[in-house]
Amino acid sequence: MKNAQSDSIYACFDVKMQQAVPLSQLKDMWAQVEQQVGSLEKEKEWKQDAIDGTVVYYTDLKFQRASLRFLVAFNTEHKVSGLRLLPVPPEEKPLVVPFDSIHLEESPVEVVTGNYKLPGILTRPKGKTHLPIVILVHGSGPQDRDGSIGPNKIYRDIAWGLGAQGIAVLRYDKRTYVYGKASVPEGKDITPEEEVIEDAVSACQLAASLPFVDKQKVFVAGHSLGGLLAPLIATRCPSVNGLILLAAPSRPQDDILKEQIRYLGSLNGNTDEALLAQQFQQVKASAPQAYWDYLNKYAPVMTAYSLSIPMLFLQGERDYQVTMQDFSMWKLGMFGKTNATFYSYPTLNHCFMEGTGKSTPMEYNHPARLSEKVIEDIAK
């Protein structure tokens, strides 16, 4: 565009674009822009986002008199299917809801497992006793106590939301977030045992020991990987009286990973099976074989079926990471069990945030809050 190589750009257009934007119009486009807003002074790095499930690429350009966003979209044949110059939208600010210091209080806690000490925080209604308590168990990856993803803090949303409903919440930094590679002794391969379960059991024991907690109302809320492992955590910790499984996988990990990779590839029009297989192997190589072996031996649905405590299964229908197929398998596996309740939400994604169209990883970069409906259902 800058070098007026309009023939090259036109050749990259798909048929619809070539019909919509004739070559003669393309030749004058950049000159007209500079005539209106002055010469180009600075261009920022390229980023990507998604509009209704279509991946678009953009860079923000600073001209003398205005800033414009240069947006390009491609079709599945990698031809340009959209090209636009728009005003740069105002910067999105995180949706911060102020902490209700009148009705709630927060205090630091430490979840201790052997030599591992994890800083955490306890949220509770002020001056109340005999409280139900929820222990939040993270998804995969090194996550902090707030479940921070982009500008969003989904576990903090749950803690503050449940606190407002008279429920205490314990959340803590994950071991892999605090200790990294030192999360297991040197020479030992990490498994979900060290990554999640040991510390979750310690957190449950801590929660049950708190003087203001109703010992008959200790609940574990596991998100994603935490939801997958929640039934196993309950078998290890008799003080747990109920489970909330948020977007919990129920199928073999290999099946889920392949499905995720294929879905993400489809957003960019990538259907090359060899490349997808290579990406799958890269994901598998990010954890030792002992990690995957542990998950392959674990039977989450059967473990959950063996439990007599109440279980609440929650699922966003726009979730591409853990899908409605997983939710259906939980339902099928719990058939006939009166202690299992199921809710799904048509407009929510993997982080239980609102959206429209196909869910994409880029939507986590936009400020949002975990759905109030989900918090209400957990509280009930």
**Residues 211-267: pLDDT tens digits?**
999 999 999 999 999 999 999 999 999 999 999 999 999 999 999 999 999 998 888
Contact indicator for 269, 76 with CB cutoff of 8 Å? yes
Q: What are phi and psi of 107, to 5 degrees?
A: -140, 145
Tell which of 87, 120, 139 closes a domain: 87
Tell which of 87, 117, 141 closes a domain: 87
Q: What are phi and psi of 349, to 5 degrees?
A: -100, -165
- CATH number of the domain within which 217 lies: 3.40.50.1820
Helix axes 289-297, 253-267, angle to 10 degrees: 110
Tell me which residue has tokens 């993997």: 350
Same structural domain for residues 304 and 352?
yes
Write the burial class of residue 77 (CB in 10 Å: 0-12 exposed, 13-18 middle, 19+ buried). exposed
Q: What is the pLDDT along the chain (380 residues), one digit of tens a residue?
A: 888 898 999 999 999 999 988 888 888 888 888 888 999 999 999 998 877 667 889 999 999 998 999 999 888 788 898 898 888 888 877 777 789 999 999 999 999 999 999 999 999 999 999 999 999 999 999 999 999 998 999 999 999 999 999 999 999 999 999 999 999 999 999 999 999 999 999 999 999 999 999 999 999 999 999 999 999 999 999 999 999 999 999 999 999 999 999 998 888 777 788 888 999 999 999 999 999 999 999 999 999 999 999 999 999 999 999 999 999 999 999 999 999 999 999 999 999 999 988 899 989 988 999 999 999 999 99
Question: How far apart, in whole angstroms, are the C-alpha atoms of residue 164 and residue 159?
Answer: 9
Domain membership of residue 298 (yes or no) is yes
Question: How far apart, in whole angstroms, are the C-alpha atoms of residue 216 and residue 162?
Answer: 17
Same structural domain for residues 43 and 164?
no
Question: How far apart, in whole angstroms, are the C-alpha atoms of residue 364 and residue 351?
Answer: 8
Same structural domain for residues 120 and 175?
yes
pLDDT in tens, 116-126: 999 999 999 99
Domain membership of residue 219 (yes or no) is yes
Same structural domain for residues 58 and 201?
no
Domain interval for residue 70: 6-87
Helix or strand holding residue 266 (H, E): helix 253-267
Give Dmax over CA atoms of the chain in angstroms.
Answer: 77
Tell which of 58, 87, 116 closes a domain: 87
Domain membership of residue 181 (yes or no) is yes
Amino acid at 177: Y
What is the pTM assigned to this prediction?
A: 0.84
Residues with active-site annotation:
224, 319, 350
Strand partners, 76: none
